[in-house]
Amino acid sequence: PYALTISETSSSRSLDPLRRSTYGGSNVFVLCFAVSDYREEVMLELKERWFDECRSFNPSVPVLVVATKIDQRAGTTRAWTKSQGEAFARSIRAAGYLECSAATGEGIEDVFQAII
C-alpha cells in the first residue's frame, strides 16, 4: 500500500515561502501544463520557475512533466503537441513525460502509476 499526499500549490509569488514549505518529504514533483495554453512563456515558466525551484529544493527528487487537457487538442492547431512536450521533458532531463485528460479520463491512471 502507498500513502499519497497531493499538494497543489499557488503560483502567486507572494505565497512562494508558503509553497516551498510544502516540499519537505516529497518523493516526486509533478509539473503540469495545459496543452491548450499554447504560449512560449508556458514552457519557459515551467523550466525557469517550477523546475528550477524543485531542483533547488532537492536535486535528487524525480520530476515528471504532465500535459493536461489533451482532449482539447482536437480541432485546433494552437495546442502543444505530444512531441513538443516530450522534447521539453528531455531538455530538462525529467524522469518522465505523460499526458492526460480529466474530462475523458484518458491517461489519468498512467499518471498515478508513474507517481507511485
- Whether 27 is covered by a domain: the verdict is no
Give the pLDDT confidence score for residue 101 in this predicted structure: 98
- Whether 10 is covered by a domain: the verdict is no
* Domain span holding position 59: 33-115
What CATH number is given to the structural domain containing 55?
3.40.50.300
Give the pLDDT confidence score for residue 30 in this predicted structure: 94
Higher pLDDT, 69 or 25: 69
**H or E element, residue 90:** helix 82-91
- Whether 39 is covered by a domain: the verdict is yes
- Whether 89 is covered by a domain: the verdict is yes
- Whether 17 is covered by a domain: the verdict is no
What angle is formed at CA 44 by the lines to CA 42 and CA 49, rounded to 5 degrees? 100
| Residue 78 burial class via C-beta count within 10 angstroms: exposed 0-12, middle 13-18, buried 19 and up | exposed
- Segment 6-50, tens digit of pLDDT: 777 767 778 777 777 777 788 899 999 999 999 999 999 999 998
Q: How confident is the model at residue 115 (pLDDT cuts 50, 70, 90)?
A: very high
- Whether 15 is covered by a domain: the verdict is no
Give the pLDDT confidence score for residue 10 in this predicted structure: 66
- Whether 69 is covered by a domain: the verdict is yes
**Cβ neighbours around 68 below 10 Å, total:** 21
Q: How confident is the model at residue 5 (pLDDT cuts 50, 70, 90)?
A: confident
Count of domains in the chain? 1
Which of 40, 62, 38 lies closest to 51, judged by CA?
62
pTM: 0.90
- Whether 28 is covered by a domain: the verdict is no
